[in-house]
Structure 1
Amino acid sequence: MINRQFWLIIVTIFFALVLALMPLPISFEPFRPDWVLLVLMYWSLAVPHRLNIGSAWLTGLVIDLATGSPLGVHSLTYAITIYITASNYQKLRNFSIWQQGLLVAVFLALHHLLQFWLHHFLLEVYFAPQFLWPAATGAICWPWLFLLLRKYRRHFRIR
């Protein structure tokens, strides 16, 4: 039973990875939500004993390899974001979906600012305000993603 639940969580992370790698028109690319991090945040809130910082780090490593970004950038930022989410999951569960969406926006902004800082340190990239658009779109997508994954979790009885 444990292996089945683990694989069901991996399936959702895989679909999020597909959404993250799917090509979009150039005009929509700056607005792409970080689907993988949103799914990881949901699972760290819903079943924190199943998804931990190590899982987030490995998922970030897969994203680094798939996107060609410097190795470890997504891993570190995912691990930090999931650490903050998982360490406060009891508080975050008590908020409404809309309040969670605002906190998710803050966590996504933290993720993107950390990612910018690491890219600036490694690649000399300079800040542009468009860099934070995924935090806003991720917060907008959070309620629907939350409800979809909750229905999935309840249907397959993932505990």
Structure 2
Amino acid sequence: MKARNNNFVILVTIIISLMLTIMPMPIGADAFRPNWALLVTAYWSLALPNRVNVIFAWLVGFIIDVLLGSVLGINAFATALVVYVTVNNFQKIRNFSLWQQSLIIGLLTALYHLIIFWIQRFILDVDFSISYLKPVITTAVIWPVVFLLLRKVRRQLQVH
């Protein structure tokens, strides 16, 4: 029963992040929308790398593709790659301070957006705009809040 409860907590947090991903925002603020699903998936891959892995991240990214109506597989591939890097370096990243983790999450988010741009450039012939990288700033800034909130949830509900 304990494992079922643990999986339920992880799934609920992912569902909430997906809802925040598609939630309507004002046009000016939408360009700065944090990558909620990437943040939550990155947190769980740092906290529980044996349970939240590349396949789980690919599924989350695929759901994002479906929800946003983008070309299937773009967000799935980018999310899986970011989680792959995170899982392979989770022991190093865990030892960094919270602001250093924010910088790393910012770099991983920039990688995520650049991968999406490169694939879209190849498939759809889109041009680069600096607005592609605006969510990097807000995602890095909001990381400490997401990290502390999810850590509190994980500890109180004994997710391990």
The verdict on a shared fold, with TM-score over 0.5 as the criterion, is yes
State the shift of 1:7 in Å.
1.2
**Alpha-carbon separation, structure 2, partners of 1:30 and 1:121:** 22
State the shift of 1:84 in Å.
0.1
**Alpha-carbon separation, structure 1, partners of 2:132 and 2:64:** 18
State the shift of 1:59 in Å.
0.7
Confirm or deny that 1:77 pairs with 2:78: yes
Letter in 1 for 2:86: T
Alignment of 1:78-97 (within 5 A): 78-97=79-98
Deviations 1:63-102 (A, max 9, x none): 1011100000000000000000010000000000000000
State the shift of 1:34 in Å.
0.5
Letter in 1 for 2:65: D
**Alpha-carbon separation, structure 1, partners of 2:118 and 2:158:** 40
Residue 41 of structure 2 corresponds to which residue in structure 1? 40
TM-score in terms of structure 2 length: 0.98
- Aligned CA RMSD, in angstroms, stands at 0.6
Letter in 2 for 1:57: W
Confirm or deny that 1:108 pairs with 2:104: no
User: % of aligned pairs identical?
Assistant: 46
State the shift of 1:130 in Å.
1.3
**Alpha-carbon separation, structure 2, partners of 1:119 and 1:6:** 33
**Alpha-carbon separation, structure 1, partners of 2:15 and 2:141:** 21
Residue 141 of structure 1 corresponds to which residue in structure 2? 142
Residue 16 of structure 2 corresponds to which residue in structure 1? 15
**Alpha-carbon separation, structure 2, partners of 1:154 and 1:63:** 28
**Alpha-carbon separation, structure 1, partners of 2:85 and 2:31:** 25
Unaligned runs of 5+ in 2: none
Count of matched residue pairs: 159
**Alpha-carbon separation, structure 1, partners of 2:108 and 2:158:** 28
Instruction: Point out 4+ residue stretches in structure 1 off by more than 3 angstroms.
Output: none
State the shift of 1:50 in Å.
1.4
SS in structure 2 of the partner of residue 31 of structure 1 = coil
**Alpha-carbon separation, structure 1, partners of 2:123 and 2:158:** 43
